[in-house]
């Protein structure tokens, strides 16, 4: 969009401008959207268009947010639940990262991995992995280990695929350079392919961070135990919808924390590649 005007001496002046919607600053845009959504939410519930059991009012939700927040801050049972879930998420992520990375190197670096291992991984990956939950519970019981197993199982595959893809990312010229200076296969892997593949690997880790959260909560829904997922299911069974909303919001903080930890580590390690990190979302 541009404004065209004419100066005194007859020259034309073009002034280029972004459209109005593109000129709103990020903070204003975020606040505006938040307020708009809450206003519609308030309107819909206040007018009784939606049953309060299905959707509580913003006010009720806020009250429950305060209640859960107070419980967490006072170190009551909800904090124990959150801590259990945090540990479960942490262990799942570490295991998924370790196994996923190792399998990814096997697939990306060796012909055997590519030919023999990858087809089976793809076959398993296409299965609905949540369906394995009863098996994990049967094998590992109702403690956190069955949840860790399910979540790690779900989150491993994106890391395998992204690691393998990352190892292919080095260009033919770069490989030739390394061969021409006498680099061994291990040197090419460690000094060229792995650093080149880091942005890919971190992308896989970010997808895995999301997958781990889903896996842990699913595990806690199905396997009970002491985690936040069990609290949510309990509140839902009591039709305490505002509590469910409040618990989910606090749970999302855990997910965000994990995600942005990965983003932070990526920025430290992959300092040379800014193009993969648009805005604040990483």
Partner 1 sequence: MTMAVSRNTGQAEPVASPTRPVYEISRLSKTYARNELVALQGVDLSLYKGEFVSVVGSSGCGKSTLLKIMAGLLPPTTGRVMLEGKPVMGPRPDIGMMFQQATLLPWKTTVENIVLPIEIRNGKAAAKAATGRARELLQLVGLGDFGNVYPGELSGGMAQRAAICRMLVADPAVLLLDEPFSALDELTRDFMNMELQRICMERQATAFLVTHSLAEAVILSDRILVMKPRPGRVVEEVPVELPRPRTLEMINTPRFGEIVAHIRDLLGKETFG
Q: Which residues form the interface with partner 1 (CB under 8 A)?
A: 171, 173-174, 176-183, 187, 191-192, 195, 271-273
Q: Render the burial of 200-215: b for 16+ CB within 10 Å, e for the rest.
A: bbbbbbbbbbebbbbb
We find the least distance from the C-beta atom of residue 187 to partner 1, in angstroms, to be 6
- In a 10 Å sphere around its CB, with 0-12 CB exposed, 13-18 middle and 19+ buried, how is residue 109 labelled? buried
We find the least distance from the C-beta atom of residue 183 to partner 1, in angstroms, to be 5
Cβ neighbours around 29 below 10 Å, total: 13
CA 188/CA 179 separation, integer angstroms: 8
Q: Of the two residues 183 and 210, which places its CB atom closer to partner 1 in the complex?
A: 183
Q: State residue 263 phi and psi, 5-degree precision.
A: -60, -40
Q: Of the two residues 195 and 224, which places its CB atom closer to partner 1 in the complex?
A: 195
Q: Of the two residues 234 and 273, which places its CB atom closer to partner 1 in the complex?
A: 273
We find the least distance from the C-beta atom of residue 184 to partner 1, in angstroms, to be 8
Q: State residue 6 phi and psi, 5-degree precision.
A: -125, 130
- Cα distances from 137 to residues 97, 110, 134, 144, 230, in angstroms, run 22, 34, 5, 10, 15
We find the least distance from the C-beta atom of residue 80 to partner 1, in angstroms, to be 43
Helix (H, G, I), strand (E, B) or coil at 94: helix
Q: Which residues pair with 5 in a beta bridge?
A: 13
- Of 92, 125, 129, 127, residue with least CA distance to 107: 125
Return the sign of the alpha-carbon dihedral for residues 170, 175, 176, 180: positive
Q: Of the two residues 126 and 173, which places its CB atom closer to partner 1 in the complex?
A: 173
Q: Of the two residues 101 and 178, which places its CB atom closer to partner 1 in the complex?
A: 178
We find the least distance from the C-beta atom of residue 173 to partner 1, in angstroms, to be 5
Q: Of the two residues 237 and 275, which places its CB atom closer to partner 1 in the complex?
A: 275
We find the least distance from the C-beta atom of residue 77 to partner 1, in angstroms, to be 47
Cβ neighbours around 174 below 10 Å, total: 14
Q: Of the two residues 176 and 257, which places its CB atom closer to partner 1 in the complex?
A: 176
We find the least distance from the C-beta atom of residue 271 to partner 1, in angstroms, to be 8
């Amino acid at each position: 969009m541009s404004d065209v005007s004419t100066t005194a001496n007859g020259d034309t002046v073009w002034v280029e401008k972004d459209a109005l919607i593109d000129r709103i600053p990020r903070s204003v845009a975020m606040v505006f959207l938040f307020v708009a959504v809450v206003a519609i939410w308030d309107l819909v519930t206040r007018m009784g268009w939606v049953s309060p059991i299905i959707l509580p009012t913003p006010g009720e939700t806020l009250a429950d947010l305060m209640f859960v927040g107070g419980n967490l801050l006072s170190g009551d049972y909800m904090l124990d639940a959150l801590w259990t879930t945090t540990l479960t998420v942490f262990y799942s992520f570490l295991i998924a990262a370790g196994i996923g990375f190792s399998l990814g190197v096997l697939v990306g670096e060796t012909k055997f991995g590519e030919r023999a291992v990858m087809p089976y991984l793809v076959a398993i990956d296409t299965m609905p992995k949540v369906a394995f939950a009863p098996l994990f519970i049967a094998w590992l019981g109702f403690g956190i280990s069955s949840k860790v197993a399910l979540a790690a199982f779900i989150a491993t595959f994106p890391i395998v695929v992204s690691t393998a893809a990352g190892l292919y990312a080095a260009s033919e010229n770069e490989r030739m350079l390394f061969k021409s200076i006498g680099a061994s296969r291990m040197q090419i892997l460690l000094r060229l392919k792995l650093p080149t593949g880091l942005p890919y690997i971190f992308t896989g880790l970010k997808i895995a961070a999301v997958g781990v959260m889903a896996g842990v909560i699913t595990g806690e829904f199905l396997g009970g135990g002491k985690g936040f997922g069990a609290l949510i299911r309990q509140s839902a069974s009591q039709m305490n919808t505002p509590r469910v909303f409040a618990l989910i919001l606090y749970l999302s903080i855990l997910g965000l924390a994990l995600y942005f930890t990965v983003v932070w580590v990526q920025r430290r390690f992959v300092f040379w590649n800014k193009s993969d990190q648009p805005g604040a979302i990483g």
